[in-house]
Structure formats: structure tokens, C-alpha cells
Chain A
């Protein structure tokens, strides 16, 4: 129990600690929005599917089919996000993550697993992974999560203001202004909008919103998120000519400034 607590504490403080010494930091292609992603997956079909989906979204995917090769490539750096299966030949996913974190490599890691049990998820996150996705998963969910991880990695830690089009959010004063008009938001609505603004231009899935805004990982029976989004939409979009908050059918939501 105690060991896990320590691990959890480490995972929590890691982002800040490793940021500055990440060898991959300067070499990634974040400016163009193209990511280099390392896929460590022994199942060929899954690896093919992920590579195809990522390539279609304009990213570059490298592949390793066992844990040892994966660790070797990952240690070399240069990746924006690492996606690793949990059960791998030669070296399992959890050990791989722990080895990378021990070597102070802070590249965001998404663990994939067929094991969907709650405890497994906790173990994966405690080992030092940043996100956990249960197989099988939708391509849109994978892309959304990878993009979110990349964004989280590169966001300015001292960010105090988020801007999307004419929408501005002051994180210190906790105010939201659109086109010079102040928008009053409930605390939860503020967090919801903040999450969408931090991932502006990206699809944010419903599960991601539940995890990030409500801090719960669970399967709602009905689309409770939809109601919260439509309320937010009322406040953010109703009185303005161009909508910012879009629903991406079958995937999630996106805050986007372009017309």
C-alpha cells in the first residue's frame, strides 16, 4: 500500500520535474502540429490500425513489437507521445514505463490494455503512465487522447490566459470574456470550457471530459455530458454570430475558432 502511495505521489509531481530535462523536448515537431509517435504493440492488427489512424491524421508513427525494442527506441528520445501495450513480449508495458521514468524520460505515455479492470487502470497510472486506454478503442478516442497528451506536454506551465478566436479566459481572475462581453460561468462550466480551450482545435471525447472536468472515470448510461455542453453553448455561443463549440458526431466536442 505504502509503495503505491509513493508511486502516486511521484506520478503527480513528475510533469514539473521532468519538463526541463527532457532530451526530446527540442526535437519534436510540435510547431507544425505533426507528432512523432512510438507504438509499442505486439499485435500486428492493432498496430496496423493505430498506425493507419495516426498517419491519416498527419502524424508519424514508428513501431516496435516487443518491450525491449520499445524501451530502446523510447530511450533514444525524439518522440512526442509513446503508446505502449501492457502485455508485451520481452518486457511488459508497466516495467517499460517504470524504466523510462526511472531514466527521467518524461515523454507522455499512453498505456493500452485489454484489461479494463479499475485496479489495472490505477496500476498503469501509478507506474508513471499519463493515460490509460482500454482495448478495444475507437480510433477517434485514441487520436483525441494522444493529441491531448501532446498538448499537455507542451503547454506553458505559467499560462494565465487562454484565447480561442474572440473568446478569452483569464485563469487567475477566473473570468471569461467573448468579444469584449463578459460571460458568467458556474465553476464547473468554467472548468469545462477551460478543458475545451486547452485542447482547442482538437476533439475532446466525453470520457476525457468526465475524467478531466469531473475527475471520474466511468461509463454514463445516458449522455449527461451533452446537457452540460448545451448549457455551456447557450452561454458561449448563443448571442454571437459564429459558433465556437462544435459537436463532432460519434467522437466528442471541439472548440474551434475558424469559420
Chain B
């Protein structure tokens, strides 16, 4: 729900609804004002006309004529809003439908505003009435006016209609906005999810493109074209590095063999022998880099493992820790193990060992406190983490170090191909897992999540893998 409320579509529809409500309210106000004015004027005219009529009667027939005229107007069968009252010099009512001279609450020119009480069958209502006080010779006074009740009702209805209308419109706008934004969100979300999938390594994924050809379809198609282009460029770069690695391996090995022959020759002196050995070492380093590069290419080629055995990851992790323990001890670093036994994953034992070994190697190379290797199971995932106490990797550089050949400036001086982490990440991806770099406070924490092997994939592990 919150997600819908946060969409720009919803906000836009709300803004639109608010503007529309305001304009409707303004219109309502204007209508109200105009009707009020019209009704007032009409009332005045009616009262004036009535007064003229009664005065005419008075002029023609005198007081009795006036009384008759008033009485005929307030006869019970006559319905209307008219108010009439004729009082004598001492204020006694002589004719009309008021029981006594009212007390005016307000006087506007000749107009009096006064409350009247209308007695119904079972209740009495107090209404507001307008009237004109017209003095007649001899102290008599004539009051002609109108009850505003029915016009007030009209105005009330008008304002009710507008207020309810605005309320209903707001509700409709909220509902519609939610509906629109959900629909919009679904399509945007599909694109967002797709982008996330691609970012998390599923580079072959493409956005869904509908047949409607609307702006979303075009956006999807454009993104897909972009992804295709990125994929093509990445493949081109990868192919170049892989081909270089592949094609240079043979000549480099030949070079190394020549050097080895030279070194084995009895003619060489101690000094030149040392130089030859150093050269062999350099060649080995380059060859190791090429091998790592090709291993990454192999792991990334996407081809699923043909031999997917049940691997005792607990055992592999313990073996790796044991292999590196001697090296760690020599550096005065302890490898703390927290390995849960009997955790199995599906995959290739050698590759998984390679990944863990690379991470341990890294941790020992860059860390200066104890290295912690832990393996545990959560749900149907196996979590392996290796934490060191070194300088760690700043957050913004973490995604970059998983790329090939990326070595942070701080570690340029140390040996290594710069491919260890990339290879580990590629191996983990090949196994359907994730490798995440994190802050170990202080140090680097590498976490690998792999799907746990389910059930007994009976004997699928080849004995010698």
C-alpha cells in the first residue's frame, strides 16, 4: 500500500483531485452566492409588490379593506412564505399571521430582519424573516415580509450537493489513482525487477515487451537494445582477454621450457642461474594469471557444470583452512574455524575449494588479525563467510574489486594476480550462489551463499572429482 502511495502517478492523481476539488468548491461558492443574491432580490421584489398591493387596497377601501385583504392572504388554504401584520396605535394586532409585533434583530434600510416561530402540528421551528415596516396614518403599522425558510433550504441543498460531490470525487480520485498507479507500478516494477536481475548477474535476461507499443513497451525495447549492446561489448572485451590468455600460453610455456633447459645446463654460472630462476618465476606468475583468467571465463561461460556432485562443503572448508593454517601461522595469524559439520551443496568440489582457498589467501594477504572462517546453514541455504581484520574495502569500491584485474591501490605492491576474488565470485555464481563483500568492522567480510544440496543425489559424485 505504501508503495502505491509513493508512486508519482498516485501523487499526480491526488494533486489533480485536489485542484479539481478546489475548482468545484469555487464554482459551488459562486453558485451559492449567485442564487442567494437572486433569491434576495426576488424576495424583496415580492415583498415590495405585496406591500404595493396592500397599500393600494388601503387607499381604495380604507382600513377595513386592508384588513380584508390581509385576512384573505393569510387564509389557511393559502400556502406561502408571506408574513403580514397590521397593528393599531398601541401595537395590538388587528390582522395577519403574526401574534405580535416582532423584535427586529437587525435593520437594513427599510428592511427588518426578525425571527419568527412557526408552529407545526407537533413542533415549532424558528425561522428568519425579512419584512418592511410601513406606517399608516393614525398610528397603525403594517408589516409585510417573507419567511426565508424555503430559500434557505434551497441554498442548503446547493451547498450539500457541492460538498458531497467533492467528497465523492475525492474518493473516486483516490481509488482511481490507486488503480492507475498499481497498474503503472506493475509495469514499472517489471522493468525494475528485470534491471535488478541483470545487475545480479543474469545478463541474458531481457525486459518483457508487450504488443501494445506504448511508452512502456518502447522503454523495455530500448533497455533491451541497450543490454544487448552492453552484452556484446562485454563479450568482445572478454573474448579479447581470453584469446590473449589462450594464445599466449603456448609461447610462454615454450619460453619457460627454454629457460628451464638453460638453467639445467652445466655451463651457466651461479649468477646467471639465479637470473634464469627468477625469469622462470616471472613466467610462472604470468601463466598462473592466464590460467586464472581462463578459469573465470570457463566459470562464466554459463554452461552448467556437467559433473554436479554432492559436495561436503564442511569438509572442503576444513581442508582449505588446514591447508592455509601453516601459512597463517607463519604470519602470526590464527584461522578461527566455526564450521558446522555435514553441510552439503551441489557442485564441483575442486572449484569450491579453489574459491575458498582464494578467499583465505586474500584474507591472509590483507588482514593482520585473526581470520574467521565460518560455515552454517540457514533454511535451505548454506552460508560460508570469511572475515579478516585488515583494512577492508571501502563500500564504493566493493563492486569494482570483483571485476577482473582490479586491485586497490593499497594492495598494488603485494603479489597475486588480482583475479582471486573475481574467480571466487565466478565460481560461486556458477554454483547458483551469491558472493557479497561487507564490512567486518574492521576488515573485510566475504559472504558466500549457496543453495544447500537437497536430499540424496545418490552417488552422482564421481569418485575422483
Evaluate contact between A136 and B327: CB separation under 8 angstroms. Answer: no
Contact in complex: A9, B260 (CB < 8 Å): no
A-B contact pairs, 23 of them (CB 8 A): A1-B460, A4-B307, A5-B462, A8-B462, A8-B464, A9-B463, A11-B464, A116-B291, A118-B305, A118-B465, A119-B307, A122-B462, A122-B465, A137-B253, A140-B260, A218-B353, A218-B357, A221-B358, A221-B416, A222-B415, A224-B326, A227-B326, A228-B326
Distance of B30 from chain A, by nearest CB (Å): 82
Asked if A126 is at the interface (CB within 8 A of a chain B CB), the reply is yes
CB-based closest 6 A-B pairs? A136-B253, A250-B280, A8-B463, A218-B354, A227-B326, A221-B361
A2 to B457, CA, bound (A): 11
Cα–Cα, bound, A118→B353 (Å): 12
Q: Which of A225-257 contact B (CB under 8 A)?
A: 227-228, 231, 249-251
Task: Name the CB-closest residue of A to B246.
Answer: A114
On whether the beta carbons of A136 and B250 are closer than 8 Å, the reply is yes
Residues of A within 8 A of B (CB): 1-2, 4-5, 7-9, 11-12, 49, 53, 116-119, 122-123, 125-126, 135-140, 188, 214-222, 224, 227-228, 231, 249-251
**Closest partner residue, chain B, to A126 (CB atom):** B462
Docked pose: A188 CA to B292 CA in angstroms: 27
Interface: B96 (CB within 8 A): no
Binds A, one of B160-168, B173-181, B220-228, B317-325: B317-325
With a cutoff of 8 Å between Cβ atoms, the chain B residues found around residue A214 in the complex are 319, 323
Cβ 8 A contact of B365, one of A8, A138, A222? A222
Query: CB of B125 within 8 A of chain A?
Result: no
Contact A249/B277 with A218-B353, A218-B357 known, Cβ cut-off 8 Å: yes
Interfacial chain A residues near B55, Cβ < 8 Å: none
Indicate whether A136 sits within 8 Å of B260 (C-beta atoms), given known contacts A214-B319, A217-B350.
no
Most chain A CB within 10 A, of B263, B292, B307, B349, is at B307
Query: Which residues of the other chain, A, contact B298 by a CB distance below 8 angstroms?
Result: 116-118
Residues of B within 8 A of A53 (CB): 257
What chain A residues lie within 8 Å of B307 (beta carbons)? 4, 118-119, 122
Extra A-B contacts (15), CB below 8 Å, given A1-B460, A224-B326, A249-B263:
A4-B307, A8-B464, A12-B464, A122-B307, A122-B464, A126-B462, A136-B254, A214-B319, A218-B350, A218-B353, A219-B292, A220-B357, A221-B357, A249-B280, A250-B260
CB pair B306–A231 under 8 Å, yes or no, is no
Given A119-B306, A249-B277, CB of A139 within 8 Å of CB of B361: no
B130 to chain A, nearest CB (A): 101
Q: Which residues of A contact B306 (CB under 8 A)?
A: 119, 123
A119 and B305 form a contact (CB under 8 A): yes
Per-position contact with A for B301-322: 1 when CB-CB < 8 Å, else 0? 0000111000000000001001
Contact A250 B463 (CB under 8 A): no
Contacts of A216 in B (CB 8 A): 319, 323, 349-350, 353
For residue B284, which residues in chain A have a CB less than 8 angstroms away from its CB?
Answer: 250
Looking at the assembled complex, report how far the CB atom of B206 sits from the nearest CB atom of chain A, in whole angstroms.
28
Task: Determine how close the nearest CB of chain B comes to the CB of A216; give it in whole angstroms.
Answer: 5
A135 & B250 in contact (Cβ 8 Å cutoff): yes
Residues from chain B with Cβ under 8 Å of A119 in the complex: 305-307, 348
Complex alpha-carbon distance, A224 and B417, angstroms: 15
Flag B8-28 by CB within 8 Å of A: 1 or 0 each.
Answer: 000000000000000000000
B415 near A231: Cβ-Cβ < 8 Å: no
Assuming the A-B contacts A135-B250, A221-B417, are A125 and B464 also in contact, with contact meaning beta carbons closer than 8 angstroms in the complex? yes
A217 to B254 Cα, complex, angstroms: 23
CB distance from B419 to the nearest CB of A (A): 8
Chain B residues lying within 8 Å of A12, measured Cβ to Cβ, are: 463-464
Can you name the residue of chain A whose Cβ is closest to the Cβ of B459?
A: A5
Q: Evaluate contact between B417 and A227: CB separation under 8 angstroms.
A: no
B288 at the interface (CB under 8 A from A): yes
CB-defined contacts of B357 to chain A, threshold 8 Å: 218, 220-221, 224
Tell me the minimal C-beta distance from B53 to chain A in angstroms.
113
Q: How far is the CA of A55 from the CA of B201 in the complex (A)?
A: 50
Q: How far is the CA of A188 from the CA of B319 in the complex (A)?
A: 11
> How far is the CB of B461 from the nearest CB of chain A, in Å?
8
B135 at the interface (CB under 8 A from A): no
Q: How distant is B287 from chain A, measured CB to nearest CB, in Å?
A: 8
Query: In whole angstroms, what is the CA distance A8 to B415 when docked?
Result: 38
